[in-house]
Amino acid sequence: MSLLEVVDLDAGYGDLQVLSGVDIRVDDGEYVTIVGPNGAGKSTVMKAIVGIATWQGGSIEYRGTDIAGMAPEEVVHERIGYVPQSDNVFPTLTVEENLRLGAYVLDEVPEDRKRDVYDRFPALADRPNENAGSLSGGQQQMLAMGCALMLDPDVLLLDEPSAGLAPDLVDEMFDRVDEINDAGTTVLMVEQNAKEALRRCDRGYVLANGQNRYEDDGDALLGDEEVRREFLGG
Ligand SMILES: Nc1ncnc2c1ncn2[C@@H]1O[C@H](COP(=O)(O)OP(=O)(O)OP(=O)(O)O)[C@@H](O)[C@H]1O
Ligand SMILES: [Mg+2]
């Protein structure tokens, strides 16, 4: 059984429909990416899964339970980690405070997990008392991931983790995602940096105009003439 299975999903914002009949499957332990042009609806898929976008039809099964239409404050209890595309840390709070907030639905802050996050992201461990807003773009992205990891999620939804990062930091970010997946966390990632994302993932989906266009192993999509011409810049 899949960990997360989106079937025939319609979703959008209020009455506005963005996604039509979208299917996405993520198996336990897999690393799946969604690529596609601007405005394709990639972020909307993630927002629909966590209950931020408006659910309009279809099903979203997580561990066999239909979570479609659930409110975000309920979805967070399902231990689905979500790192939004932007505004994903509290800039006026410190690194430490942000991490503690990442675990706000738990009865107490899991100190062992916080240590794991600091071990995984040494740049955060070096500056626990700095305001998140004063960190570099890459450090903020690491902090946002760290906040999501505080819940020890079974699946991590990452919306464009490499956006706005300098080229050398892009590689480092992808390496961190590889490590998180290797350590057993299932990953569903949206990326603008489509070639690198497809190179790294197990399977990929190409979304356009709110609909599925292609799906296959990452390498197969990378090698597909039509996918390359239409979506990967040749
Ligand atoms: N909060 C919102 N209210 C209304 N429409 C929205 C909202 N957010 C996104 N949209 C619209 O939904 C469509 C899909 O947007 P979405 O953000 O899902 O695309 P995307 O594939 O993530 O694009 P990008 O690569 O630019 O991040 C776009 O037409 C966008 O204008
Ligand atoms: Mg987006």
Query: What's the mean pLDDT when you consider all of the chain?
Result: 95
pLDDT-derived band at 167 (thresholds 50, 70, 90) equals confident
Q: What is residue 82's predicted lDDT score, i.e. its pLDDT?
A: 95
- The predicted-structure confidence for 189-224, as pLDDT tens digits, reads as follows 999 999 999 999 999 999 999 999 999 999 999 999
Instruction: Tally the domains of the chain.
Output: 2
If asked whether residues 172 and 228 sit together in one domain, one would say yes
Residue 63's domain spans which residues?
1-79+153-234
Average pLDDT over every residue of 70-81 = 90
Q: What is residue 6's predicted lDDT score, i.e. its pLDDT?
A: 98
Q: What is residue 34's predicted lDDT score, i.e. its pLDDT?
A: 98
Residues touching ligand 1 (Cβ under 6 Å) are: 13, 16, 18, 36, 38-44, 85, 192
pLDDT-derived band at 55 (thresholds 50, 70, 90) equals very high
If asked whether residues 128 and 177 sit together in one domain, one would say no
Residue 234 has pLDDT above 80, yes or no: no
Q: Give the atom of ligand 1 at the shortest distance from the alpha carbon of 207.
A: 21
Four-residue CA torsion sign, 201, 203, 209, 211: negative
Compare 164 and 213 and report the one with higher pLDDT: 213
Residue identifier of the C-alpha nearest atom 3 of ligand 1: 13
User: Using a CB cutoff of 8 Å and minimum separation of 24, what contacts does 116-124 make?
Assistant: 116/149, 117/146, 117/149, 117/150, 120/146, 120/149, 120/176, 120/179, 120/180, 121/145, 121/146, 121/176, 124/95, 124/99
Domain boundary among 130, 152, 174: 152
Domain boundary among 135, 152, 169: 152
CB half-sphere exposure, 194, CA atoms < 13 A: 21
